[in-house]
Structure 1
Amino acid sequence: MTAPISRQRRAAVAADTTSSSFSITSSLLRLFKHIKYENLAAGLSGGVISTLVLHPLDLVKIRFAVSDGLKMRPQYDGMMHCMKTIWKLEGIRGLYQGVTPNIWGAGASWGLYFLFYNAIKAYKKEGRQTELSAAEHLVSAAEAGILALCLTNPVWVTKTRLVLQYNADPSRKHYKGMMDALVKIYRHEGIPGLYRGFLPGLVGTSHAALQFMTYEGLKREQNTHKKMPSDSLLSPLEYITIAAISKIFAVAMTYPYQVVRARLQDQHNNYSGIVDVMSRTWIMSVLDFLYSNEGIEGFYKGMVPNLVRVIPACCITFLVFENVSRLLLGEYH
């Protein structure tokens, strides 16, 4: 009796596995059916345009985020002093250090994000008459963020390394450009080096998830207020206002992860992991007679230049996306 039962169980397990594989394949095919490359092109356009305009502020934000007291780092009194100092030493070229990977990263991230996010939304809404809930928007945005991060994290590591080269003499810089940095990081640190900051980056998907959830909710409320369908095209001013509000909310909730991520990716300091970064930023040191190194303020370094940069960047990106995607999809009217 034992052998037949065993064969039956194996057959049942095999049938369940086959059924599960078929279900996953079917779900993926249904998801791929909703992929529209117009969303990729529109998101890429928004990311590239906003990056070209606002990269110097991103550079300043990162330099403040990693400002942990090391003497080898330049000391800045504020955002304007930082920009003036870089301009004086290196000119416009200095303010655009790391712009190539930033364009690649922002373009690819926004393009892939909007591609995955809209496909996931359409997949979840398939066969439904009701709108997606706030929680469904949150989960859809988080899933899209994880997929995009898996593909773009090496580009963000490269950008961080490039903008943290403080020497004005090009011949004394460790990295000559984006491809040189990618090759050197891979050669000396391997795949783990290219995925430094990946875990806080995953936490960072909550930032985009909160932003998209708020953005979608505000769009829907605005169209309801105007007694129009929820997917109706809004005015440029309405998109800018809604994008700004959603970005401010998301930044206020999640900014500390960006500081942790930037410090993990920084080539001038050696942290063993996320806990080490957080403890060295926050925990009081016995050697310093219980004097806090940076305290809670350490987790919000660079937030002001970050807000100055990300709010207009977000407004530009979303405004460009909404209009370009509708134009490419033939929905602009």
Structure 2
Amino acid sequence: MGSEVFSYESLVHAVSGAVGSVTAMTVFFPLDSARLRLQVDENRKARSTPAILAEIIEEEGLLAPYRGWFPVICSLCCSNFVYFYCFHSLKASWLKGKQSVPSTDLIIGIAAGIVNVLVTTPLWVVNTRLKLQGSKFRNAAIERTNYSGIRDAFVQILRDEGVGALWNGTVPSLLLVLNPAIQFMIYEGLKRQLRRGVPRELSSAEVFIIGAVAKAVATTVTYPLQTIQSILRFGQSNIPRDESKFLSSLKTIRCLLASKLRMYGVLGLFKGLEAKLLQTILTAALMFLLYEKIVSCTFSVMGLGNNYNKKR
């Protein structure tokens, strides 16, 4: 098993996934800013994504949609490196050259997601705080924060809230490992259907479309939990601090979901979904396209292109 886990092939997949995701997120970052603002700021009325972005630019400046870009990119790079590395090394160890099936892709995706969550959650907590810092909220109950950067955010959170705060939102994140697992299951399944046993490289259009379809399904199914995850990472969930110490994470999630339902109805659980779908579908589609091209080019340069296509 060690040869599959510590292999050059797994490293190529990890680096390609990280580069592809960072590039795609940079292109569509403003859409993610609009999504996060709608999820966290409960008093902001849900409107179209262009209207939200125009409002942010008017009130906070031209570069406001790119606020927090650097910590997000750092977190995303680390997160996707870990996920792609775990996914492909576990897959190689499990299958040992055999053809995969959807159930196997799902199980491996969940396992890779759990490892990824436990390792990278502190980075995502910090980048959520930095991304929302300086924002003009409609909800007056949200407290202002003052972080000078990634390191300062880590120091302040540790000092004021304790080590556990760096893993805020871990439970919904663990539940949300279904998101990339479902995404990869659908993506790999559609890829096998298009190839139909013939070892060939998919066209750019095919990769883009199946990447978009896979992410659209995964995002829609898990979106309510993504909203709760963002609120918990922001650290201002409106649950009394003395009470929250005695609440389990699952009870906290249940309370937040119930509160959303009571105040805004079922549609409140999907507030910001338009912005999220627009951002995540385009980002995932571009990421998979870049990922496949980088992997294919790397193995071709190494003279392993045919072997790589056969394995897929």
Amino acid at match of 1:282: A
Partner SS for 1:298: helix
Superposition deviation, residue 242 in structure 1 = 0.6
Equivalent residue, structure 2, for 1:269? 237
Matched, 1:223 2:195: yes
Alignment identity in percent? 29
User: What secondary structure is seen at the aligned counterpart in 1 of 2:198?
Assistant: coil
Q: TM-score, normalised by structure 1?
A: 0.80
* SS across alignment from 1:92: coil
Amino acid at match of 1:163: K
Structure of greater Rg: 1
Q: In 2, distance between residues paired with 1:84 and 1:93?
A: 11
Using the TM superposition, name which of 97-106 and 30-39 deviates more.
30-39
Aligned partner of 1:62 in structure 2 is: 36
Q: Residue 171 of structure 2 aligns with which residue?
A: 199
Q: 1:158: how far off?
A: 1.0
Q: Does 1:260 align with 2:218?
A: no
Partner residue of 1:237 out of 199, 205, 210:
205
Instruction: State yes or no: 1:32 paired with 2:2.
Output: no
CA shift in 2, pair 1:29/1:186, >3 Å: farther
Given the superposition, is the C-alpha separation of residues 141 and 180 from structure 1 closer, same or farther in structure 2, using an over 3 Å criterion?
same
| Number of matched pairs | 288
Q: Call closer, same or farther: CA 1:124–1:249 in 2, change over 3 Å.
A: same
Alignment-derived partner of residue 179 in structure 1? 151
Whether contact under 8 Å (2:228, 2:256) holds in the other structure is: no
1:247 maps to which residue? 215
Specify whether residues 193 and 241 from structure 1 end up closer, same or farther in structure 2 by C-alpha distance, changes over 3 A only: same
SS at match of 1:176: coil
2:66 is aligned, of 96, 102, 109, to 96
Q: Unaligned regions of 5+ residues in structure 2, if any? A: 137-143, 307-312
Q: TM-score, normalised by structure 2?
A: 0.85
The 2-side partners of 1:32 and 1:41 are apart by 14
Deviation of 1:30 (Å): 5.3
**Corresponding position of 1:298:** 268
Q: 1:159 offset after TM fit, Å?
A: 1.5
- Structure 1: unaligned runs, 5 residues or longer: 1-26, 285-290
- Secondary structure at the aligned position of 2:42 is classed as coil
Residues 4-45 of structure 1 show CA distances to partners (whole Å, capped at 9, x for unaligned) of xxxxxxxxxxxxxxxxxxxxxxx5565335763212211111
Residue 292 of structure 1 and its aligned partner are, at CA, apart by 2.6
Q: Distance in 1 between matches of 2:115 and 2:292?
A: 21
Q: Is the 8 A contact 1:59 1:95 kept in 2?
A: yes
Cα 1:30–1:280 change in 2 (3 A) is closer
How much is the aligned-residue C-alpha RMSD, in angstroms?
Answer: 2.3
Amino acid at match of 2:277: L
Could you report, residue by residue, the CA deviation over 1:130-166 in whole angstroms, capped at 9, with x for unpaired residues? 4122111101111111112222111111111122224
Equivalent residue in structure 1 for 2:291, among 289, 296, 321? 321
**Residues 55-134 of structure 1: matches in 2 within 5 Å?**
55-69=29-43, 77-126=47-96, 128=97, 130-134=98-102
The partner residue of 1:150 within 92, 114, 118 is: 118
Which residue of structure 1 aligns with residue 184 of structure 2? 212
Measured against aligned partners, the alpha-carbon deviations of 1:261-310 in whole angstroms (never above 9, x if no partner) come to 011112333433443343344359xxxxxx93122222211111000100
Conservation of the 8 A alpha-carbon contact between 2:49 and 2:275: yes
Q: One-letter code of the match for 2:215?
A: K
Q: Could you say which structure has the greater relative contact order, defined with CA pairs below 8 angstroms and 6 or more residues apart? A: 2
Q: Distance in 2 between matches of 1:283 and 1:96?
A: 30
Moved more, 244-253 or 272-281: 272-281
- Pair 1:282 & 2:258 matched: yes
